[in-house]
Structure 1
Amino acid sequence: MAITRPRLRTLLGASLAAVSLSVTGFGVASAADETAGDPVETRVIGGERASIDDYPFTVYLATPTGFQFCGGALVAPDKVATAAHCVEGSSASDVDVVAGREDKQGTDGDVVGVTDIWVHPDYVTVTSGEDVAVLTLETDLPYETIDLAPSADDALYTEGNEATILGWGTTETGSTSRYLLEAVAPLTSDATCSDAYGNSFGSDSMICAGYPEGGIDACQGDSGGPLVVDGVLVGLTSWGQGCAEAGYPGVYTRVGAYTADIQAQINS
């Protein structure tokens, strides 16, 4: 799928109701329509099928009609961490969380409603950071949760660490995936990411992953999904230039920078 503008792993700028009418952007659709000037796209490019049993904390966000538009990570039985741009401006009733389901056309797993959406109060746009949100579910889910990257553990973010990208977003075919996909790419250095994105990259709130030659990346529909290193949630799919383009690694919310904020929501 040819992408000529920057990507947000989902659609930005409008309500979930509009997503079914207009689907574009990185991360297939965010909770909002895409807004001009926002880099948006999201999918797993260069990935392969994954078993939900191996990644039981991986969930997707859907409209009440079942349209999948973003991903997320179960960080407590009743809490899901995702990207702010997926749910900004949306009502809790606009979002369902689907867990324990590998095949989007399946009926296994659980579909639960959302009772509250917390979006980081400083979030403005993906390139300014703070692209993190926490959803409170109407009931606890019986699946294994994932630990958050400790705020002081910089070793998890070491350049070259293998990171697993997970999602149901757009693939090389140009369509979103029916099945959960996984792909592995190395974390890049902050300098490499800064060279690619200039002042749009903030090392205090973002981390990048990808190969210099491209080929493996998240894309539309993957926004908010987990980036995992050593079984720990280190990132949430956020934005990037195109999908899997050479010289443009994917950009992820640096979860360690927001562990205290997310934990506060878990404890609330």
Structure 2
Amino acid sequence: IVFCFAAVPSKSQRIVGGSLTTIDQYPTIAALLYTYNFITYGQECGGIIINNRSILTAAHCTYGDAASRWRIRVGSTWANSGGVVHNVAQNIVHPQFNVGAILNNDVAILRSATFFTFNNNVRAASLAGANYYPGDNQAVWAAGWGDLFYGQQIGSEQLRHVQLVVINQNTCRNQYANTVFTITDNMLCSGWPNGGRDQCQGDSGGPLYHNGVVVGVCSFGEGCADARYSGVNARVSRYVSWISANA
């Protein structure tokens, strides 16, 4: 598998087939920095600013980690410089993560030790409400600092974005029928009919936007931008109450 779209459970996924962009176009995105040695921190996942202290991300990014393993960079176009870096006080993984299906309920909240200061480059996202369902083939946008192609394992230092479309739920379910994955109602699939566009490793936890509203959190896929397999996102509309209770 690829995490947000990889074949190895790495914490990361990357934008494929997209273009460079800047943080003022996506002020609701955050770069999540991880440390293996408690000395250096590097971008491993994406996140979505919920309010002035909390970030929504993918549970597979932070599952099992002490809060001190993570830091949050907001307000920067760049993965590993600029903006403001905040320490993490709490790592709140969805209690039903991985229950019922592999990577089901792939959402987590990182609560910052310090408040975010909002400005043109740092804003709280509009999250999909409980009845928000973007229709099949609707245009959606993904953004992140992930790999430019499957297996790259480096990522992009500058923020990138790509336009995708919503993939029909049954189509997506059938695509994954012969894999270890089951596509549940808690998932939202996105992709490009002929492949060539996707989220990829390093984009995990990052946003999928429909008309500026966050409808998905980058979760997983088979490879990246493979026409046979859509990218899979956690469906934000299913988590309205959990997010409001924990953010």
* Map of 1:185 onto structure 2: 164
* Map of 1:112 onto structure 2: 86
Shift of 1:201: 3.4
**What is the letter of the counterpart of residue 174 of structure 2?**
D
Structure 2, unpaired ranges of 5+: none
Higher relative contact order (CA 8 A, sep 6+): 2
**What is the letter of the counterpart of residue 142 of structure 2?**
I
* Map of 1:246 onto structure 2: 227
Which of residues 4, 22, 43 in structure 2 aligns to 1:9?
A: 4
Shift of 1:144: 0.9
Taking structure 1 as the reference length, the TM-score comes to: 0.82
Do the aligned partners of 2:34 and 2:71 also contact (CA within 8 Å) in 1? yes
**What is the letter of the counterpart of residue 94 of structure 2?**
H
State the secondary structure of the residue aligned to 1:44: coil
**What is the letter of the counterpart of residue 7 of structure 1?**
V
State the secondary structure of the residue aligned to 2:176: helix
Q: Distance in 1 between matches of 2:26 and 2:77?
A: 10
Which of residues 194, 197, 209 in structure 2 aligns to 1:213?
A: 194
State the secondary structure of the residue aligned to 1:183: strand
* Map of 2:112 onto structure 1: 137
Shift of 1:219: 0.6
Count of residues in correspondence between the two structures:
234
Structure 1, unpaired ranges of 5+: 1-5, 12-23, 31-40
**What is the letter of the counterpart of residue 2 of structure 2?**
R
* Map of 2:68 onto structure 1: 93
* Map of 2:149 onto structure 1: 172
Shift of 1:10: 8.2
Shift of 1:259: 1.3
Shift of 1:104: 2.7
Q: Quick one: percent identity of the two aligned structures?
A: 33
**What is the letter of the counterpart of residue 47 of structure 1?**
G
* Map of 2:25 onto structure 1: 54
User: Is residue 2:98 matched to residue 1:124?
Assistant: yes
Shift of 1:200: 2.5
Q: Distance in 2 between matches of 1:81 and 1:104?
A: 17
Shift of 1:128: 4.4
Shift of 1:191: 1.2
Do the aligned partners of 2:42 and 2:80 also contact (CA within 8 Å) in 1? no
**Alignment of structure 1 residues 40-51 onto 2, 5 Å:** 42-51=13-22
Taking structure 2 as the reference length, the TM-score comes to: 0.89
Q: Deviations over 1:226-265 (max 9, x none)?
A: 0011111100000001000112110000010111101111
**What is the letter of the counterpart of residue 261 of structure 1?**
W
When you count helix as a share of all residues, which structure comes out higher? 1
**What is the letter of the counterpart of residue 9 of structure 1?**
C
Q: Distance in 2 between matches of 1:123 and 1:103?
A: 30
Q: Distance in 2 between matches of 1:104 and 1:241?
A: 24
Shift of 1:66: 2.3
Change (3 A) 1:44 1:66: same
Shift of 1:9: 2.5
